[in-house]
Amino acid sequence: MLRKTILLISVFFVYQVGTAQNIKSQATFRMLKTATSLMEAQQFDAAEEFFKKGLEKSKANFDTYCQAFAHEGLGNLYSKTDRSELAITHYKSAVRIYRSMGLTVIADVVETLLKSQQGVGDMYAGIEIGAKGVKLSVIEVKLSKDREYDYTLISDTSINTDAAALSYQSEKETREAITTLWNILSRRYSIPSKKVHIVISSGVKQELDKYDKVDYFTQVIRPANLDPEIRIAYITPEQESQLSVLGIVPQKRRFTATQLDVGSGNTKGGYYNENKTFIPVTFPLGTKSFQRLIESKTEDIGLDSYVRTAEGLWRDSLKRIVMNEFFIKRDVRNRDIMYISGGVVWAVVSLMHPESANYNYTEITSQDISEFRKLLYTDYENLVKPDLSFMHDPEQRKVSQKNIVRVVNTYDKKALLAGTIWLDELIKEVNTANPSKKFIYAKYAYVGWISGYIIKKVTQQYTGLVN
């Protein structure tokens, strides 16, 4: 299972306007506030004394708010000092008292801290409607002791459809796929509807925008039995890029690495600049849309003509578009690490580095991609049947072989060629300023942006409640 650390961007210090009227002793409250400041200054022994004295006084004064505040503070203190059982005891008391007072927002927040100590997470589900299929991801989200979100991929299931075709048949298939995945979700998992998100990917939205059919599409693909509380949303390439960074790039490299996802409908990515502003990098072409463009420009079905047409499209028009984008957004080229993902990257890694089938992250080189492109054209039969004899573990060989079969069943030779030509030329342009750049393939990137979408929803759950 995938475990990925995500920075907590929501602040858990919630102050309720009007709470002051419930405080019976300002002196007790000041004592507890002093304890909080001491704790933040790492003066744990002194903080414990102030919290305990404040709790004692609040009980004597029947000051329920200060009692809850003291229990919460002691829970935080014991959490910071690795005294988990004590933290759990005090968090439970704080939640009980806050709820009895009707302070549901702060009670929910402290309950999240309680679950963090108990190692319990909340389950969320995301259904992504992509250009080549509909995917269900079930994710458990936990708050770590360091106040960062961890997510664990519990399950992922996909059904191949061609939503981007925008035909009656593709709409019907997409609706049936969502229905099937919704039924699986309803039967196997007890996830509240407010924690289920159905999202149209940027690649499909891009096609829908051409015909002003976004609203129509969201209605026609909606299953009849879907909970009315669940809405079908959509995102732009820029939003998808930022969510992918949130879901894919390790937090320690969030502001130093770049990310690029070569999807079937489009290519998107980006990075955070020195001001921590997200800079999106997007192109309206992906592996599938590039293949369609190639096929629209040639009537010759031969492989030679196909490759010449693809290379001509790159040379005559696409290269300039890419160069202009990278010239404006120079850190794409300048940074030392790029996380890359997408179906065609998965194919390259699976066939060039079959031993990495179980790895969450695999480093590949630009030479790997160029060599893959060459072998597709000159030695396809051997490329798709790599020698696995060097792998001594039979279970590892079995996993790798299964992964290779999936690649071959997913992409035919021309689809792989189109995707690899597009990928290879992109990476060559990325490498012009920093040829020693590391490229890292993230195995679970295919649920990266939907995971990022869920994490963003989690971190925004307390916004807009101040009144």
pLDDT tens digits for range 320-377: 999 999 999 999 999 999 999 989 999 999 999 999 888 888 999 999 999 999 999 9
Cβ-based burial of 421 (10 A; exposed 0-12, middle 13-18, buried ≥19): buried
DSSP state of 226: S
Look at residue 116 in the predicted model and tell me its pLDDT: 86
Q: How far apart are CA 180 and CA 173, in angstroms?
A: 10
- CB-hemisphere CA count at 13 Å for 405? 6
DSSP per residue over 59-71, as a string? Answer: HHTT-HHHHHHHH
The β-bridge partners of 153 are: 139
State pLDDT tens for residues 46-76.
999 999 999 999 999 999 999 999 999 999 9
Residue located via tokens 């040829």: 435
Look at residue 43 in the predicted model and tell me its pLDDT: 95
Q: What domains sit in the chain, N to C, each tagged with a CATH number?
A: 25-118 (1.25.40.10), 122-234 (3.30.420.40), 244-451 (3.30.420.150)
Taking the alpha carbons at both ends of the chain, their separation in whole angstroms is 40
Length of the chain: 467
Q: How far apart are CA 215 and CA 233, in angstroms?
A: 10
State pLDDT tens for residues 266-276.
898 899 998 88
Q: How far apart are CA 158 and CA 177, in angstroms?
A: 9
State pLDDT tens for residues 171-225.
999 999 999 999 999 999 989 998 898 999 888 888 899 899 999 999 999 999 9
State pLDDT tens for residues 255-304.
899 999 898 888 988 999 988 899 999 898 889 899 999 999 988 778 89
Type of residue at 205: K
